[in-house]
Amino acid sequence: MSARDSILGKIRASMGSPASNDDRRRTVADRLGSAPAGIIPERAKLAEAERIELFCAMAEQFGATLARVGSYGEVAGEVSGYLRDRNLPATIRIGADKRLKAAGWETEKNLELRHGPSDGSDMTGVSHATAGIAETGTVAMMSGQDNPTTINFLPEHHIVVIKAGDIKGDMESVWAMVREKQGKGEMPRALNLITGPSRSGDIEQTILLGAHGPRALHVIVVD
């Protein structure tokens, strides 16, 4: 008997051979099909303006910095300003996301854009979030050419651009978005929920920012 059959057999035996497997199969299929939502915290249920406010407040609470701009055309200026204020090199790593293409880079003559995944040598990476979660100030990032996963983790500074309208109240609304993009039951190769910059408390329980991932997370909300 294969290990698989043996393990499944032991599980079934421990249940004392249930009366009807058809019923159990139906229960499982129903749950997987309907994916019931469970309890959604009240604080996630807000109208759009308050929802965006909460998202910004929570992201800052968990160590991110925040900027709000009026349009995509202002993103490049905000990125340049961020780099200048921190004396960072005027070079960013960026994927192929179309929304980021129209971010006004042409006005930032000194800024160098490196395209494609990060190789670990980048000081700053810029990506576009799929969605935001106001409940916890979290950004949701999907893998792919548009926003390579390595940009989320290798640069010291991670700048995430998010459209205000993509900020949802709760995690469950993000699953609805992912299902719309990918189909029910399908996921991108990697989906990263990111809440603040990388940190560790492993030495004497002292929380320090900048463990293995970015030391700083800067979120730009585009209204």
Partner 1 sequence: MELTANKFKANASKALVDAQLQKALGNVEKGFIGKRQKAADALPEFDALRDNARDIKNHTLAHLDLYLEEYERKVTAAGGHVHWAQTAEDARRIVLDICRKANARTVTKGKSMITEEIALNDHLEANGIEPVETDLGEYIIQLRGEHPSHIIAPAVHLNKEQVEGDFRRVHTHLASERDLSEPVSLLSEAREVLRQRYFAADVGITGANFLIAETGSSVIVTNEGNGDLTQTLGKVHVVVASIEKIVPTLEDTSQILRVLARSATGQDMSVYTTFSTGPKREEDPDGPDEYHVVLLDNGRSAMLGTEYQDMLRCIRCGACMNHCPVYHAVGGHAYGSVYPGPMGAVLTPSLNGIDETGQLPNASTFCGRCEAVCPMRIPLPKMMRHWREREFERNLTPAVARYGLKAWAFFAKRPKLYRFAASLGMPLLSLFGGTSRRFHALPLAGGWTRYRDLPAPEGRTFQQAWAQREALKQEAGH
Q: Which of 36, 49, 106, 109 binds partner 1 (CB under 8 A)?
A: 36
First to last CA, the chain: 60
| Interactions with partner 1, residue window 179-198 (CB under 8 A) | 185-198
Question: What's phi and psi for 128, nearest 5 deg?
Answer: -110, 130
Under the binding rule (CB under 8 A), the answer on residue 77 touching partner 1 is no
| Interactions with partner 1, residue window 105-164 (CB under 8 A) | 116-117, 120, 135-136, 138, 143-145, 148-150, 152-154
- Rounded to whole angstroms, the Cα distance separating 209 from 196 reads 9
- Rounded to whole angstroms, the Cα distance separating 34 from 201 reads 39
Nearer to partner 1 among residue 78 and residue 95 (C-beta): 95
Under the binding rule (CB under 8 A), the answer on residue 16 touching partner 1 is yes
Edge-to-edge order in the sheet of strand 167-168: 138-142, 131-133, 167-168
Q: In angstroms, what is the minimal distance from the CB of 82 to partner 1?
A: 20
Under the binding rule (CB under 8 A), the answer on residue 19 touching partner 1 is no
Q: Which of 105, 125, 213, 221 binds partner 1 (CB under 8 A)?
A: 213
